[in-house]
Amino acid sequence: MRILLTNDDGYDQPGLIALENLLKHDHEIWVVAPLHHCSGTSHALGLYSSMELREEGFRKWALEGTPTDCVKVALMEVMKDNRPDLLISGINPGANLANNVFYSGTVAAATEGALWDITSIAISVQVTSSTPKPFFGTASFVLESLMKKDIAGKIPEGTILNINVPAVEPDGIEGMKWTKMARFAADMSFRQLEPGRVFSYDRYRSLPVVDPLDSDVDAISRSMVSLTLLDSNRTSSAVPPDLELTDGGS
């Protein structure tokens, strides 16, 4: 299988290298990833700056752009004659759960792949204040297990598989679970580095969830792997309100 790897942390980061090492023996691996750290960039594009593409090794490039830029350049330029069968974004150090999915460059890169009708997976591993070192080995173990189950051939068209792995050793995983995306009931707080003037986001804070049942946050809290299907079509399934709409004109 031809697989495109990317991330939002940088082409030389250990999570991406772990993916390369896991997959390179059985698959044709291509890497196009950001030159610099791009966490939290969501689906941003580098529209107003040039983007240098640097070859960093065999089928491996670093782009001075966002994760979404990387996928676009990979599909339209680097791999234009070698379309990938699968795109995997990660392994991200830090879970992408609940509201954080909207801000995640890791998930955005996978979403861009899905918009090109390419089977796409985002994979992240939980990091906490008590376990600051990411369990990339556990995430690799999980992905390998899913690949053996032919997960790439079972993801519905137009969706992204968002995988979140708990911060435990492989033998500490309590199972895998299909989940829904939770919604935090509160937002991440700020730290005031200089009161009233300089702020930074707090990290590793547990936030309450509106409805935890069957959610990604609940699964991770119970040391389970969360598997969530995200839709690349953002049209709501809700019934539109009954409005008197005109056909045009004045």
The pLDDT of 195-207, averaged and rounded, is 73
Query: How many percent of the chain have pLDDT more than 90?
Result: 78
| 38 vs 233: CA distance, rounded Å | 24
Q: Which CATH number fits domain 2-183+214-231: 1.10.260.40, 3.40.50.970, 3.30.70.990, 3.40.1210.10?
A: 3.40.1210.10
Distance between CA atoms of residues 70 and 35, nearest Å: 10
* pLDDT of 209 over the 80 cut: no
> What are the pLDDT digits (tens) for 109-138?
999 999 999 999 999 999 988 888 899 999
Domain ranges of the chain: 2-183+214-231
- Would you state the pLDDT for residue 250? 54
Q: Would you say residue 249 has pLDDT above 70?
A: no
pLDDT at 186: 67
Q: pLDDT (tens digit, 9 = 90+) per residue, 13-70?
A: 999 999 999 999 999 999 999 999 999 899 999 999 999 999 999 999 999 999 999 9
pLDDT of 131 reads: 82
